Structure 1
Amino acid sequence: MAKVYFGMVVSLDGFVNDQNGGIQKLYASYKPTEEILAERENVGAVVLGRNTFEMASNPDDYADNYEYQVPLFIMTHTPPAKHPKENDNLTFTFVTDGIESAISQAKKAAQEKDVVVLGANVSHQLLKAGLADELQITLAPILLGKGLRLFEHLEDLEIQLEKLRTFETAQQVEIWYKIIRKS
Structure 2
Amino acid sequence: MGKVMAGMTMSLDGFINDRNGSARKLSTDFKELLEAPSFKEMTKDTGAVIMGRRVYEMADPFLWANDDYEFQVPIFVLTHTPPEKYPKGNDKLSFTFVTAGIESAISQAKKAAGDKIVQVIGGASTIQQCLNSGLCDELQIDIMPVLLGKGLSLFQGIDTDKLELERTKVDETTTIRTSIIFKVTNTSPGV
Note whether the superposition's TM-score is higher than 0.5: yes
Q: Contact conserved, 2:3 with 2:116, CA < 8 A, in 1? A: yes
Residue 118 of structure 1 and its aligned partner are, at CA, apart by 1.4
Which of 78, 82, 87 lines up with 1:84 in the alignment?
Answer: 87
CA distance 1:24–1:108, change in 2 (3 Å):
same
2:101 matched to which residue of 1?
Answer: 98
CA contact (8 A) 1:128 1:157 kept: no
The alpha carbon displacement at 1:155 in A equals 4.9
Deviations along 1:70-127, one digit per CA (max 9) or x if unpaired, are 0000000000011323100000000000000000000000111100001111000001
C-alpha distance in structure 2 between counterparts of 1:88 and 1:51, whole Å? 24
Q: In the alignment, which residue of structure 1 is the partner of 2:43?
A: 40
Number of equivalenced pairs: 183
| Identity in percent | 49
Matched, 1:18 2:18: yes
Does the 8 A contact of 2:78 with 2:97 survive in 1? yes
State the secondary structure of the residue aligned to 1:77: coil
Mapped to 1, the partners of 2:185 and 2:133 lie a distance apart of: 14
Distance 1:17 1:92 in 2: 26
1:28 aligns with 2:28: yes
The alpha-carbon deviation at position 158 of structure 1 amounts to 4.0
Structure 1 unaligned regions, length at least 5:
none
Shift of 1:171: 0.9
Q: CA deviation at 1:163?
A: 0.9
* Alignment match of 1:110 (pick from 100, 110, 113): 113
Instruction: Provide Cα deviations, 1:124-171, integer angstroms capped at 9, x if missing partner.
Output: 000110000000000011000111111111256442111111101431
Aligned counterparts of 2:61 and 2:166: Cα–Cα separation in 1? 38
Partner of 2:183: 178
- Alpha-carbon distance in 2 for matches of 1:71, 1:154: 27
Q: Which residue of 2 aligns with 1:73?
A: 76
> How far did residue 38 of structure 1 move?
0.8
Corresponding residue SS for 2:66: helix
Give the TM-score normalised by structure 1.
0.93
Gap runs ≥5 in structure 2: none
Q: Distance in 2 between matches of 1:10 and 1:163?
A: 17
Given the alignment of the two structures, is residue 129 of structure 1 paired with residue 130 of structure 2, yes or no?
Answer: no
Q: Distance in 2 between matches of 1:156 and 1:134?
A: 15
CA distance in 1, matches of 2:106, 2:61: 25
Bigger drift between 168-177 and 137-146 goes to 168-177
**More divergent stretch after superposition (44-53 vs 56-65):** 56-65
Which of the residues 162, 165, 171 maps onto 1:167? 171
Structure 1 match to 2:144: 140
| Secondary structure in structure 1 of the residue aligned to 2:134 | coil
